[in-house]
Structure 1
Amino acid sequence: MFPSANCIDKFMVKCTWMQEAFSHLPHDADEETVRRYVRAHIIMLLCTQLFRDKSGTRMHIWWLPFVARLEDMGGYSWGSAALSWLYRCLCRVANRNVVKLVGPLKLL
């Protein structure tokens, strides 16, 4: 279940590993296993839809503490976080050396 060394690059985990490791929930899964799979799917949604990076194939471990307790997730202001991430991405693309815009572009 733990990623191998080739799946981790500094503070990033490859999306392909996450998809392979958490694609099928075992039939005899206990409650903690189900929660682990739910956290993994939420991380994948956050990192591939709202808070993507330019590669689109990696996820930053920065988001792990926010899904550590599923009970607390409803208390976060995800809309504000997504808008500030979008603003950050738009500010970065204003640099003439940047050629690719990323972020939650669906919000535009």
Structure 2
Amino acid sequence: MRLDERIVPYLHMAGLYHLVRLNETWFRSDESLVSAFMERWRPETHMFHMPFGKCTITLQDMAYQLGLPIDGNYVSGCLMDFERYIKGGHPAWMRFEELLGVLPLANCIDKFTVKCSWMQETFGKLPHGVNDATVKRYARAYTMMLLGTQLFGDKFGTCLHIR
């Protein structure tokens, strides 16, 4: 998604602006290398099983590489019980609509994931002359795409979890 300057203050407030450098201009992802690592990941041990042995990425590695804070409250929860962790007990898609102002089409949803192509089509370009509430919605969508594709991407890079 294109980064609009009107979104930047919200990324600064969230402490995520530095992650924008992970785009194609600053950081090129080697898709085949990422795919090879994903194939070697074992969720039961939380490690990569490499020909030379096992290895893992630590929290300290992430903090150092990405500049993410590792102090303070953590965010966690079981995906199976995802809806019960939502503030106010709202169904997940109701909360999605509250935060982004729109629901994806039924063919763009699979359980708790939404197609990246729908996000791009819907929030790809922030129109001129919109109010602050709309800018905030686009900032939320940009943040969701940033985290869902750069940090927590799925194996195919086509969907992102709404958590």
TM range (shorter): 0.5 to 0.7
Q: Matched residue of 1:29: which SS?
A: coil
How far apart, in 2, do the equivalents of 1:41 and 1:16 lie? 13
In structure 1, stretches of 5+ residues that fail to align are 63-108
Does residue 108 of structure 2 align to residue 7 of structure 1?
yes
Spell out, residue by residue over 1:45-74, the C-alpha distance to the aligned partner (whole angstroms, 9 max, x if none): 101000111121000011xxxxxxxxxxxx
User: Structure 1 residue 36: deviation in Å?
Assistant: 0.4
How far apart, in 2, do the equivalents of 1:5 and 1:27 lie? 29
How far apart, in 2, do the equivalents of 1:20 and 1:13 lie? 12
- In structure 2, the residue matched to 1:56 is 157
Q: Matched residue of 2:137: which SS?
A: helix
* Bigger radius of gyration: 2
How far apart, in 1, do the equivalents of 2:113 and 2:140 lie? 16
In structure 2, stretches of 5+ residues that fail to align are 1-101
TM-score, scaled to structure 1: 0.55
User: Structure 1 residue 9: deviation in Å?
Assistant: 0.6
Does residue 124 of structure 2 align to residue 23 of structure 1?
yes
Higher-helix-fraction structure? 1
Count matched residues. 62
- In structure 2, the residue matched to 1:39 is 140
Q: Matched residue of 1:13: which SS?
A: strand
How far apart, in 1, do the equivalents of 2:128 and 2:115 lie? 26
How far apart, in 1, do the equivalents of 2:123 and 2:147 lie? 15
**Once superposed, what is the RMSD of the aligned Cα atoms?**
0.9
- In structure 2, the residue matched to 1:87 is none
Which 4+ runs in 1 deviate beyond 2 A? none
How far apart, in 1, do the equivalents of 2:159 and 2:131 lie? 28
**Letter matched to residue 43 of structure 1:** M
